[in-house]
Each structure stands twice: as C-alpha cells, then as structure tokens.
Copies of this chain bind each other. A is one copy, B any other.
Amino acid sequence: MFKQLGLIGCGLMGGSFALALKEAGLVDKVIGYSKSPTTTDKARQLGVIDQVAESALLAVSGADIVLLAVPVAATDATLRAIRHLVTPATLFMDVGSTKRDVVDAVRRVLKERAPAFVPAHPIAGKEQAGVQHADAQLYRDRQVILTPIAQTDAGLVDKARAVWTAVGAHVQVMTPEAHDAAFAAVSHLPHLLAFAYMAGLLQQKDSEQFLALAGPGFRDFTRIAASDPAIWRDILIANREEVIKQSERFRGALGVLEKALQDCHGEALEALIQGVSQARSHWRLSSGARHN
C-alpha cells in the first residue's frame, strides 16, 4: 500500500502505528524523527523504525504516508517544519485528542497545502507511554475519528479510512467541532473533575488518613487523575471553550443535587439518582471506544 512511512514523534501512538503498518504488510520502510535522539535510537533498536531522520522535514522526504504523533501543542511548529514537502501525493495525518486546534493550525500553516492533511484521532492508549510500550495491536477494534475540513482531499480521506481499517480500527467521520464537543463531554470534563476532586482532597490536613480508607469506588473514580500532566495540560487548553461549557453544565447539575440534599428532599434526590443510575447501567463500551 505504501513505500515509506515518515513518523514524526516515535512514542506509544506513533510507534504502535508503525508496528501495525509493518505487521499488516502495508509499508516497506519507516523513517522516524523524534525531538529526543534517545527515543529514535530506542525505536530503531526495537525495530519500530528502520532509519532515523535528523529532522521532521527529512522524515517527510521520500515518504508517501506521514504520521504526526506529537503532543497537540507541538502541531503548529511541526507543520511549519515540514510544510515545504506537503503535497497531496502523500497522506498526512495526526493522532491528536483535540481537532479544532489541529485544523486551525493546518489552515494557518499549510494554507493551499491543507488538502493533503487528514486530521485523525485514534481512540486508543495505554497507561504507560513511550516507544517501549508500542504495540502493533493498539488500534485493533478501536475507534478512529477522522475530521476532514472542506478543502481536505476526498481521495486522501478514503485512503486514511483504508489504512486505519487495515490495522483493525473502526473509522468514523465527524466535523472537528462535533468531535471536540463530544470529547469535552465524555473525556475532557471527567479528567478535569477527577483532577479537581483529587486537588480538593489533598488540600485537607487529614487527607492521608482519608486516603487510607478509600476503596474501589475511589480507585476507579480517580484512575484518570493519574494521567500525564503535559498531555492533559495541552488537551484541556486546546479544547478549553468546550470543556468550560461542559463544566458549567456540570456545576448546574451538581447544584440541583446539593439543593435536594440541603432540603433533605429524599424523593427528588432518589429520582435524580434513579435516572442516572439506570442510564449508566445500560451503557456499554462501544466496540472500539477504548480511550483513556
């Protein structure tokens, strides 16, 4: 399918993509670039990439497929570094968890070259980051959201869909706006709330004794509070408008529950809990939705 993958960012997401393409026999050669030479060395030793590129631009040179797998805040600078080699002869994609900021950068930096770029968000991940955890199966049975814009080349969207499908993922197309609104609601806000909850707990002088009494409910509720600080700083800031909208909505719902509590209004409280408890009991993880 492809001769050469240019991989920019050789971490868990990028490394897993390279391995998946290799395993599926979809690519002959992988050239990788990372900000840190230690990472590219490790990636080469592990057979994730075949050759180290000295720059992002050199990783693109000669590639017919390019994956940007860098933190979302680095998208702009990365696009600037490679834009001279961006043409629709090559499929360019990213793996960012937010999409409006990515398409803004694509429009701003790539301008008339924007059609070559197909924004993508594979809903996949692992607790541990780093190329040493790269896994050819990471995208199998996971959802991948593509968020093309008006000028995106339709042929490249089809190609992107084919690649992700070939590595076992289920592809959905959405607008960047719908994507960011949905993930603010089901992923970014829960992270913000888990961070806030832990912060409020840790401020208390008895927090150590409290934590010693915490059980499995606490464990599951706060698991996402252990997420990577730099990655979540970037995601929350990139999608801050939607996240703050969701947070306001949440505050409203919390206020209604608090009011029922303050008034000892048992019936209202039970009805509210009944509604959410039923909805949550019926919810099932979609085939593919395996995001952190």
Q: Which residues of A contact B (CB under 8 A)?
A: 73, 123, 143, 145, 181-183, 185-187, 189-204, 206-207, 209-230, 232-234, 236-237, 240, 243-244, 246-247, 249-254, 256-258, 261-262, 264, 266, 269-277, 279-281, 283, 285-286, 289-292
Contact = CB atoms under 8 A, between A and B. Distances in A.
16 contacts: A186-B210, A186-B218, A192-B261, A196-B254, A196-B257, A199-B256, A214-B283, A214-B286, A221-B221, A221-B223, A223-B280, A226-B277, A226-B281, A237-B266, A244-B258, A244-B262
Contact of A220 (B221, B232, B253): B221
B292 A199 contact: no
Contacts of A285: 214-216, 219
Grouping DSSP codes into helix (H, G, I), strand (E, B) and loop, the A interface class, with mixed when no group exceeds half, is helix
Q: Copies of this chain, how many?
A: 2
A209 B200 CA distance: 31
9 tightest A-B contacts by CB?
A215-B291, A200-B253, A198-B276, A196-B254, A186-B214, A229-B273, A199-B253, A226-B280, A220-B220
Contacts of A271: 229
Given A199-B275, A240-B264, 12 more contacts: A183-B213, A187-B217, A190-B197, A200-B252, A217-B224, A220-B220, A223-B280, A229-B270, A229-B271, A232-B273, A233-B270, A247-B254
